Chain A
Amino acid sequence: MLVEPGSFHEEDQGITATDVLGFTDSQPYAKRIEQSRAATGANEAVTWGEAMLAGHRLVLVVLDFAFMGGSMGAATGEKITNGIERATQSRLPLLIISASGGARMQEGMLSLMQLAKTSAALGRLGAAGVPYISLLTDPTMGGVTASFASLGDVLIAEPGAMIGFAGARVIQQATYETLPDGFQTAEFLLAHGMIDLVVPRPELPAVLRQLLDLYALNGAAPDLQFQRQAKKTAAPAPAVTR
């Protein structure tokens, strides 16, 4: 566990995946949801809340691959967006830990639109000057990589984690290309300039501490200073003497 014991306060526990489209593939989606709920004890593929890490309060969002492959449906996207918006409003650093096969096909276009929703919310987080650390674990693929997971100010991946958009099998079927050794691994992405750091799990706490210390707002963010100044100027101006 990365965070300080007892410091995590989960939000939106009650938000549950729902079968809006009435989707059935080899099994009904409603049944898949039930199975995932029973297997994980969670209502969705994501858990979020505020927590303390290395002395810093932050918003933590964690995806669970055991719940339908960590896929992003409407409820998943809703919870992630709620987490991002909390970080923006409370000016708390954001840490998202991803593990996902991508968009949840059983929710059709409602799932795809969550890419836009989460990314738009991160645009506002960035504009507010609140830092976002994205931790990519094995695997992080598809629409999740093509939205919030790759939008961190700092991208960290675990060693050997598979990270990408299209899967290797799909690429080979489409192009008959021979894929290079280590294709789509964390190390491969680091070499291609797509992520900042590859960090083994035992070293994560120290790296996150260093990052939070460096990026933490400490009430001194330029935005806040600006707002304070703006307030001062807005106050009744003292008589000007020349």
Chain B
Amino acid sequence: MSDNGSVAAATWEQVELARHPDRPYALDYIHGIFSNFLELHGDRVFGDDHAIIGGPASFDSRTIMVIAQQKGRTTSERAMRNFGMANPEGYRKALRLVRQAERFKFPIVAFVDTSGAFPGAGAEERGIAWAIAENLVALSAARIPILTLVIGEGGSGGALGIGVGDRLLMMEHSIYSVAMPEACASILWRDIARKVEAAEALKLTAPDLKRLGLADEIIPEPPGGAQNDYGLAADAAGAALRRHLKSLDAIDTDRLVEERYQRYRRIGATS
């Protein structure tokens, strides 16, 4: 195998680890890091989306607002969670929780784990793109600290729809990409079998995002991956969240919001 081929194979291993069926999902982290999590339901418009969950929880004797993408473990739970692919209702529920977090001054902790927003007729009819865009505006201006942690797959606009914040943390074997490698291969190579090359070209691993200046910190996982020890993975994630939250707490709100604006403003800036 050529050097390029072995690099691509190593990248593909990361993709498979990020999607490992035994990997801890959002609720595993939530229960491992916080206490008193109370899941709230519904977007008050159309329905309750089980692919995005959220609600208040206690973190070191303060209340934070959790917003998370949740995949299912069993066949029936996978179907119930729509394989972690949210409809507009999920994003609108998240928006409701962002507004509530602002009202009560709860910092937001968002867990990203989705291959993307749901590509379905109903999602389009109910404005999935509109729902995501509204969240980008709301999160970018929200007057509370926001931490984003990618725990598995960060897929495109569907991930970004709950993923705009002050810090981007990534679990060691998580990925975050403008498009999933299969979709990218099918569009650019017109051949889904080129997914391994696509994965390498997209620069989607945690170290890639760190190098590009997009991720702030890579959180180490237990040997072999987070699936081998949920407790250790949650402890490492919790310690990083605690540390970053403390540093954000020290920043005045006006400056926090301005720094968040500039954080995105300078990505791809020419001057």
Task: Assess the A179–B121 pair: CB atoms within 8 A.
Answer: yes
CA distance A142 to B177 in the complex (A): 14
Task: Assess the B129–A108 pair: CB atoms within 8 A.
Answer: no
CA distance A150 to B137 in the complex (A): 11
CB distance from A176 to the nearest CB of B (A): 11
Task: Assess the A110–B212 pair: CB atoms within 8 A.
Answer: yes
Which of B33-41, B200-208, B230-238 binds A?
B200-208
Cβ 8 A contact of A183, one of B124, B136, B140, B183: B124
Q: Give how many A-B residue pairs fall within 8 Å (CB-CB).
A: 177
CB distance from A41 to the nearest CB of B (A): 20
Report if A45 contacts B (CB, 8 A): no
Report if A221 contacts B (CB, 8 A): no
Which of A1-9, A20-28, A212-220 binds B?
A20-28
CA distance A26 to B209 in the complex (A): 24
Residues of B in contact (CB 8 Å), total 52
The prevalent SS among residues of A at the interface is: helix
In the complex, residue of chain B having the shortest beta-carbon distance to the beta carbon of A32? B188
Report if A151 contacts B (CB, 8 A): yes
Task: Assess the B268–A119 pair: CB atoms within 8 A.
Answer: no
Report if A184 contacts B (CB, 8 A): yes
Residues in B whose Cβ lies below 8 Å from that of A78: 268-270
Q: Which residues on B are within 8 Å of A, measured CB to CB?
A: 117, 119-121, 123-130, 132-134, 136-138, 140-141, 156-157, 160-161, 164, 176-179, 183-184, 187-190, 198, 201-204, 208-209, 212, 214, 260-261, 264-265, 267-270
11 new A-B pairs (CB below 8 Å) besides A26-B190, A108-B202? A103-B157, A111-B178, A112-B157, A115-B160, A116-B140, A116-B264, A142-B157, A143-B157, A151-B133, A175-B120, A179-B121
